[in-house]
Structures are given as structure tokens and as C-alpha cells.
Structure 1
Amino acid sequence: MLTQLINIIFNLESYLSPFLEHLGQSVYLILFILIFLETASLVFVFIPGQSFIFLASTLAASSTSGLNIWRLLLDFLLAAFFGNIVKYYIGQHFYRHRAIQSNAQSRFGRAQRLLNNHGEQIVIFGRFIPILGNLIPTIAGATKMNPLHYLFYTAIGVLVWVDVIAALGFFLGRLPIVHHNLTWFLLGFFIISALPSLIKTGWDHWKRPATEHN
């Protein structure tokens, strides 16, 4: 069993292609649901949305996968856009502005400060900030950001986020070295995506004792 699992991990593409062929057109619906859940709810933030976009776009570069990059792009754009709208209204109706303010040291507090200091720019580029980026739509709703402004800037943000990740995946997917080492490239992308968050968490952990000591 362990040998088979290792074989699957290190020969990922050879197993994924038949699996995608078996799923057929339903793969687009599955990917839509995954990205929508990750962007629409704080409960499903553990879903690696960026990694799914990257992996699917990388596979789309191969003719054997059967995936169409343009359908994937439409899928991801719609899922992320409507997911952000849902999260905005969750913030607007279920989170208290005062409660967020009173917890200034929390992730909500940091996300709110980012939104207050950078406004529309953080709505556009917030998705590239690990963990905190998932909170931006909720904070925008909780702080009653103008809905039309939010819709406009989140549409730009979704376009930038999806296009950058998908373009990177599709470009790398055209390189033979990537197909022969898909697992390593996917792992590297996941680590690079999570690195800023890990550094920030480590910095906060290292800094806290010094602050308490002073």
C-alpha cells in the first residue's frame, strides 16, 4: 500500500490524466465547487485554491489531460467572484464591527487595518496575502464598504489572481521538465505560496516574548 502511494505521488500526472478522463465534463463542476467553497466561506479556507488553479492549468497545457484552459479560466473566475460576494455579505450580516475592532491583535484586526490603510488596492491584491487575504471580503462587508465599489474592485482582484496563477501554471505546464517532475513543482508552488504566512507567524512568535519582557 505504501509503495503504491509513493508511486502515485511521484508519478502524479500519469495517474491524474486517466482520472480526469473518467470524470469527463464534471471535472469543471468539481473545480468550480472547490474554488467557490474556498473563497465563499471561512470554514473551507483549508482548501488550497491557488494550488488547484495552478495544478489544473498546468495539466491543461498537456493535450492528454483533456482540460481546456479557457473553460478553466471561466470556471475559476466565476467561482472566485461569486465566492467573494457571498463572503462580503456574510461579513455584512453576521460579523460585528465593534467585535472586530476590540480584537486588534487577531487576524481580523490585521486584515481590517490593511483594508483601512490600503482600501481598494487590498481588495484587488488581497488574495495574494496568505490567510489574511481570505478575510478581506468579510472585513469589507463588516465595515460596510460601498457594495458597488467592492464589486468593481473584487472583480479586478479575481481577474488578476486567477489569471496570474493560471498563466504561471499553463506556461510551466508546456515545459517537459515540469511534466516529469509535477509533484515537485506542485510542492514547490505550495511552499512558496505559504512561505510569507509561515515567516509572519514565526516573526510574531519570536517577537512576542521580547515585547512581554520589555
Structure 2
Amino acid sequence: MDFMQLLDMVLHVDKSLGIWIAQYGTLVYAVLFAIVFCETAFVIFPFLPGDSLLFIAGTFCATGAMNPWFLVILLIIASVTGNTVNYWIGRMIGHKVMERDYRWIDRAALQKTHDFYEKHGGKTVVLARFIPLVRTFAPFVAGVSEMSFRSFQFYNVLGALIWIISLVASGYFFGNIPFIKNNLNVIVLVGVGAAVIPVVAGLAWKFGRSMFSKSK
């Protein structure tokens, strides 16, 4: 296997997980740990598979190819530690990155995450778990914004638990249903929208009432 083939398998491990399990056995746990950790720890890896990887891993757990309890615990650790590393990187170098233009960082995604974070604070750390790109930048922006570490860790752990358990469990119980498997990203985004829209609507209502009061 040459480097390009290996890279393609890593980037699409959610689609080739069965091959990894057949060829490498229990070493696949280390591969999944590394992918989840890198996606959440470093802003240069937002392209790594996330939601679909967890869902597909859950489907293989249902077949007995992987241990669901060990997988969930391992990936929660990867997710929490990855976000923590990203947070501290943000605390140390974040302001320089926000002020300068680096080719290896998607500034549009970074700014989008920053704006969303400014509006929703700690909720972003939880909700961002389910939003590609934003998931990678949220802990970094939390560090840049100097969110207290204790508060960040609370939302960090909470978000990791909800994200890992919900998607692995969904794959475990529903992974063989074609409609769900083929429309996973849409289903996840609809679920996040259901959680975010009431918050945004509430903020808009408060803002409208404030502007109306000032106009009197």
C-alpha cells in the first residue's frame, strides 16, 4: 500500500472501516482514537471524518466486530483530550492567528465559529460537536476568548458524552436502515437546528423588545 492509498483510507475511514478491521484487528481502535483526537485537537484537520465515522463504528459494534463499551470510552477520552489540547493552543497563540492570515487555517470557518461562540457562549462547545468544521474550531476559539478552563471542561465533557454516545448508539441500533445511513449528515444538522433555533429565537425576541423599549 503506497502513501496515497493510505491517506485515502484514513480520510475515508468511515467508508473503509471494514477493511481496517479485517486487516489490522484491534489496532483499529488506535486508528479511530487518533482520528477523533486529531480532528478535535488541531485546527488544520477539520477535513477528517467525524459524525459518519462514529455512526459507522456503531454499526460494526452491532455485528460484534468491535466492543461498543470499550469504543465509546476510548473515543470519549480522545474527544475530551483533543478539545483540551485545542483550547490550550487557542490560549497560547490564538490572538496571533485571529490577527494574521495563515494559508493552512480556514479563516472563514474560524470567524464563523467565533461569531457563533460570541452569541451562545458555552453552549457552542456542546452544539459544535455536531457541526463539521465548527467542531474543530470551537475549542480553539474558546481558548482565544479566554473562557475559564473549569467552565470549558464542563461543556467539553458534556459535549463529548452526548456526541460519542448518541452517534455510536445510533449506528448500533439503526445503522442497517438505508435511509438513516445515507442521510446521516442531514439528520444530524436537523437535530442541531432544533436545538439552536429556539435559542436564536429567544435572543432575537429579547433584542426586539429591547429595541422597541428604547424607541419609546
Query: Cα offset for 1:18?
Result: 6.7
The amino acid of 2:150's aligned partner reads L
Q: Is 1:167 matched with 2:169?
A: yes
Distance 1:94 1:77 in 2: 26
Letter in 1 for 2:44: V
Q: What is the letter of the counterpart of residue 32 of structure 1?
A: F
Instruction: Provide the rounded CA distance (Å) in 1 between the counterparts of 2:112 and 2:19.
Output: 44
From 157, 163, 183, the counterpart of 1:188: 183
> What's the secondary structure of 1:24's corresponding residue?
helix
The C-alpha deviation readout for 1:86-117, integer Å capped at 9, x for no partner, is 1101111112179369xxx9332332222122
Distance in 1 separating the partners of 2:150 and 2:138:
16
Which string of whole-angstrom CA distances, capped at 9 and with x for unpartnered residues, describes residues 110-138 of structure 1?
32222122111111111112322321101
- More displaced stretch, 39-48 vs 184-193: 184-193
Partner residue of 1:78?
77
Structure 2 CA distance, aligned partners of 1:190 and 1:152? 26
Amino acid at match of 2:95: R
Indicate how the Cα distance of structure 1 residues 191 and 121 shifts in structure 2: closer, same or farther if over 3 A, else same.
Answer: closer
Matched-pair contact (CA < 8 Å) for 2:130–2:189: no
Gap regions ≥5 residues in structure 1 = 1-14, 197-214
Over 3 Å counting, the alpha-carbon distance change for 1:147 and 1:33 in structure 2 is same
How is 1:194-205 mapped onto 2 (pairs within 5 angstroms)? none
> Matched residues in 1 for 2:53 and 2:115: separation?
29
* 1:32–1:79 Cα contact (<8 Å) kept: yes
**Distance (Å, rounded) in 2 between the aligned partners of 1:97 and 1:111:** 17
Between the two proteins, what is the percent identity of the paired residues? Answer: 29
The one-character-per-residue Cα deviations of 1:64-102 (angstroms, maximum 9, x if unpaired) are: x2x11101101110111111001101111112179369x
1:110 equivalent in structure 2: 112
1:111/1:100 Cα in 2 relative to 1: closer, same or farther (>3 Å)?
farther
| Number of the residue aligned with 1:95 | 94
How far apart are residue 192 of structure 1 and its match?
5.0
Query: Contact 1:91 / 1:139 at 8 angstroms: preserved in 2?
Result: yes
| Residue aligned with 2:45, SS | coil
Query: How many Å apart are 1:139 and its aligned residue?
Result: 0.5
Residues 1-214 of structure 1 mapped to structure 2, 5 A cutoff: 17=18, 19-63=20-64, 65=65, 67-96=66-95, 99=98, 106-173=108-175, 175=176, 178=177, 186-190=181-185
Q: 1:100 to 1:189 in 2, by over 3 A?
A: farther
For the structure 1 residues 194 and 115, does the alpha-carbon distance in structure 2 shift closer, same or farther, using more than 3 Å as the test? closer
Code of the aligned partner of 1:83: G
Tell me the TM-score normalized by structure 2: 0.69
> Partners in 1 of 2:124 and 2:145 — Cα distance?
14
Instruction: Look up the SS of the partner of 1:25 in the other structure.
Output: helix
Q: For residues 110 and 100 of structure 1, do their structure 2 counterparts lie closer, same or farther at Cα, with a shift above 3 Å needed? A: farther
The runs of 5 or more residues in structure 2 that have no matched partner are 1-15, 101-106, 192-216
RMSD: 2.9
Contact 2:72 2:165 in 1 (8 A): yes
